[in-house]
Amino acid sequence: MEEAARQLEARRPAPPLTRDRIVAAAVEMIEQEGVEALSMRRIAARLGVAAMSLYNHVESKEVLLDEVAAHVMAELEYRDDPSADWRDRGRDLVRAFREVARRHPRCVSLVITRKSMAPATLRPVEHALAIAADAGFDGPASVRIMRVLIAYALGTIVRENGFGEMTRILTAPPGSVADEFPRVAALLDPLTDDDYDADFEFGLDLLISAIDALQAGGK
């Protein structure tokens, strides 16, 4: 029975090569091995096609990287409500961006390094600029606020994947080390007990409060 199923699967024609299939394969490879591992040859091998056939759908590796960035940002689930308070809108946008970064922690680096003009990559930028403008900031300040909001969302992912691992492996320091780092020794439990969501929301409140104070100061 299993052998018959394998033979049937072997006879089944492969799905047609499309731009979407190529981009999906690139996303999968980047998340597994990193951006530096991506090549048109390896994508072709993964899809079981000749490398040259990719170029009928994606003009170059550079274009493919732009497509990956756009694909990732197309997953951002955020609908701006201009009638809502700008603070709530800002929080929701950062949360939405963080969720995308959590699903694609390696691919999301392309979002900030590629000069993509795809609608999917420009849309969150437009939202952030609109939120800052509605809060009363001028153009240059709005751009800086947009950058800060995105940087915070990305920074929390770095902390979860990097610094969080460092704090998890901390152990009770020996006496001489504890004497040198008394605060680390005293706060070892909270240092090693990560609650990423609580940390994220705490920092997000601080960030929005700081922007609010800046706005109130007429900056």
Write down the pTM of the prediction. 0.80
pLDDT digit string (tens) for the chain, length 219 residues: 565 545 545 556 668 899 999 999 999 999 999 999 999 999 999 999 999 999 999 999 999 999 999 999 999 999 999 999 999 999 999 999 999 988 998 898 888 888 778 898 889 899 999 999 999 999 999 999 999 998 898 888 877 766 555 555 566 666 666 677 788 778 877 777 778 899 899 999 999 999 999 876 555
Long-range contacts (CB closer than 8 Å, 24 or more residues apart) made by 161-166: 161/105, 164/194, 164/196
Asked whether 93 and 128 are in contact (CB, 8 A), the reply is yes
Dist CA 212 CA 86 (whole Å) = 10
- Assess contact for 87 and 76: CB atoms under 8 A: no
Note every long-range contact of 167-175, with CB atoms under 8 Å and residues 24 or more positions apart, other chains counting.
167/191, 167/192, 167/194, 168/192, 168/194
Q: How far is CA 149 from CA 13, 129, 132, 141, 205, in A?
A: 47, 10, 10, 12, 12
Q: Regarding the domain delimited by 2-58, which CATH topology (the fold level of the hierarchy) does it fall under?
A: Arc Repressor Mutant, subunit A (1.10.10)
CATH classification of 86-216 is 1.10.357.10, yes or no?
A: yes
